[in-house]
Amino acid sequence: MKTVKQTMLVVLGLLFFALQGCSHDDYIPVPGPTGAGGTNGTNGINGTTTCESCHSNSYRDPIKASYALSVHAKETLHLDSASGLEFTTSEYTNRTGCVQCHTGPGYIDKMNGVPLRTGLGLPSNPAYPVDATKLGANSNHLNAINCKTCHDTHSSFNFVADGNDFALRQGFTKVALDQDPTYKIDMGTSNTCVNCHQPRGLPPTTGDVKLSSRFGPHHGPQSTMLEGIQGALIVGSTPYPAPKSASHRSGSSCVKCHMGKTTDGTNGAHTWNPTPNACITCHTGGAPASVTGFAADMATLQGLLVSKGAYSTTTNAFTSNTVPIKVAQAAWNYALLLEDRSNGVHNPTYAKALLKNSIEALK
């Protein structure tokens, strides 16, 4: 019995040491039976019929030609290897407070929620410096606005179910206004335009106001004019329409009027010049270039501002005088309507009320 136990102990010992010498590398698994087949995956997108319909040279070349005619393309900063820096817009646009709309990387940072860089402007201290080694001769890409400024990647490629977002960085998200974040404008694909085409200040409300050549909403109040807000609502005999009530706001949009099918290649699409093709849908006889009486009322208001010491026809700018609140509010409305550049067309009823009541206040 003792011998049997000793023999068993020896065998177990040898087995223990044999197992200690094994490794996973030495182990060869024995395959089991084949499992059941999985379910088929979702069919992918046909790249030829879906992606290439937009992502092809034949589609993009006309867009590039159209964009070349736009103000966005023309009013950029250029670097010419022969003559040095050449400005077709202010050299100060690449500085704090301007870069989010006047430079490509500044806008991208704004959309991504990245803190904007700071600087005093070109050529000595730009917020977004240029790497001249990457530009080449006669380049016009001095951090200019280009395709990638507004477009990035699609949020979904299932256009049938989710719609085409045109790879817009803004997407269709509502835009909280810079001067009143509690107010949000929602115009779908036109929200990209709203980001920059909005006032950079608010109309004065009380007290005497010191004017300057930069007094006013800045150069892009189109979205708020269309919305019918942020004008100085001087009390007068002409009633103000409710916000969002303008026909061009409720029945149209920036994209529909400014990016419609071109008539001759110089309007619509990416030129952003209004195309008559968009107008004839509602205006069968063609839309007027200006609201009736707009030019005459603007001339009257300008003359009154001159008489009040608020405006100079020599410099075509506001003076540096301090004026009463009513004069300052009328001056604000003049600047708002002038810089909107639609001659009242964006919001005719609102434009008329601002003009008529401003003129009454100064008379």
pLDDT digits (tens, 9 = 90+) for 136-169: 544 545 677 889 999 999 988 888 888 889 999 9
> Which pairs count as long-range contacts for 145-153, CB under 8 Å and 24+ apart, including other chains?
145/72, 145/73, 145/76, 145/102, 145/103, 145/104, 145/107, 146/104, 147/67, 148/104, 148/108, 149/104, 149/107, 149/108, 150/107, 150/192
Do 311 and 215 lie in a common domain?
yes
Nearest alpha carbon to residue 186 among 127, 139, 249, 104: 249
pLDDT attached to residue 113: 94
Q: Phi/psi at 32 (nearest 5 deg)?
A: -90, -170
- Tally Cβ neighbours within 10 Å of residue 12: 10
Q: What CA–CA distance (Å, rounded) separates 42 from 11?
A: 58
Asked if 183 and 176 touch (Cβ cutoff 8 Å), the reply is yes
Do 349 and 230 lie in a common domain?
yes
* Any domain includes 336: yes
Q: Phi/psi at 175 (nearest 5 deg)?
A: -110, 120
For the residues 174-187, what does the mean pLDDT come to? 96
Asked if 61 and 68 touch (Cβ cutoff 8 Å), the reply is no
Which structural domain range is residue 122 located in?
Answer: 60-150
Q: What CA–CA distance (Å, rounded) separates 329 from 206?
A: 9
DSSP code at position 292: T
* Any domain includes 204: yes
Q: Residue 307 corresponds to which tokens in the numbers above? A: 């008489």
pLDDT attached to residue 20: 54
Asked if 314 and 301 touch (Cβ cutoff 8 Å), the reply is no
DSSP code at position 65: H
Residue predicted with more confidence, 170 or 203: 203
Do 127 and 274 lie in a common domain?
no
Do 207 and 332 lie in a common domain?
yes
Whole-prediction pTM value? 0.81
Q: Give residue for tokens 């800045």.
A: 218
Under the banding of pLDDT at 50, 70 and 90, the label for residue 85 is low
Residue predicted with more confidence, 242 or 22: 242
* Any domain includes 15: no
pLDDT attached to residue 89: 62
Under the banding of pLDDT at 50, 70 and 90, the label for residue 28 is low
Determine which of 15-24, 55-64, 147-156 has the lowest per-residue pLDDT on average.
15-24
* Any domain includes 29: no
pLDDT attached to residue 280: 86
When the pLDDT of each residue in the chain is averaged and rounded to a whole number, the result is 85
The CA-CA-CA angle for residues 71, 174, 184, to 5°, reads 95
Do 78 and 214 lie in a common domain?
no
- What is the number of domains present in the chain? 2
Do 211 and 64 lie in a common domain?
no
Residue predicted with more confidence, 334 or 102: 334
> Which pairs count as long-range contacts for 49-54, CB under 8 Å and 24+ apart, including other chains?
50/157, 50/159
* Any domain includes 302: yes
Do 226 and 107 lie in a common domain?
no
Residue predicted with more confidence, 177 or 75: 177
Determine which of 2-16, 145-159, 171-185 has the lowest per-residue pLDDT on average.
2-16
Q: Give residue for tokens 């303008």.
A: 246
In the predicted model, is pLDDT for residue 95 greater than 80? yes
pLDDT attached to residue 82: 54
Determine which of 131-140, 200-209, 263-272 has the lowest per-residue pLDDT on average.
131-140
For the residues 103-111, what does the mean pLDDT come to? 91
For the residues 161-182, what does the mean pLDDT come to? 92
* Any domain includes 100: yes
* pLDDT, tens only, 285-327: 777 778 999 999 999 999 999 999 999 999 999 999 999 999 9
- Tally Cβ neighbours within 10 Å of residue 84: 9
Do 271 and 347 lie in a common domain?
yes
In the predicted model, is pLDDT for residue 263 greater than 70? yes
Q: Residue 60 corresponds to which tokens in the numbers above? A: 């993009």
Q: What CA–CA distance (Å, rounded) separates 157 from 40?
A: 20
Do 240 and 358 lie in a common domain?
yes
pLDDT attached to residue 10: 54
Q: What CA–CA distance (Å, rounded) separates 82 from 84?
A: 6
In the predicted model, is pLDDT for residue 217 greater than 90? yes
Do 238 and 356 lie in a common domain?
yes
pLDDT attached to residue 138: 46
Do 236 and 333 lie in a common domain?
yes
Q: Phi/psi at 36 (nearest 5 deg)?
A: -70, 150
* Any domain includes 282: yes
For the residues 6-24, what does the mean pLDDT come to? 54
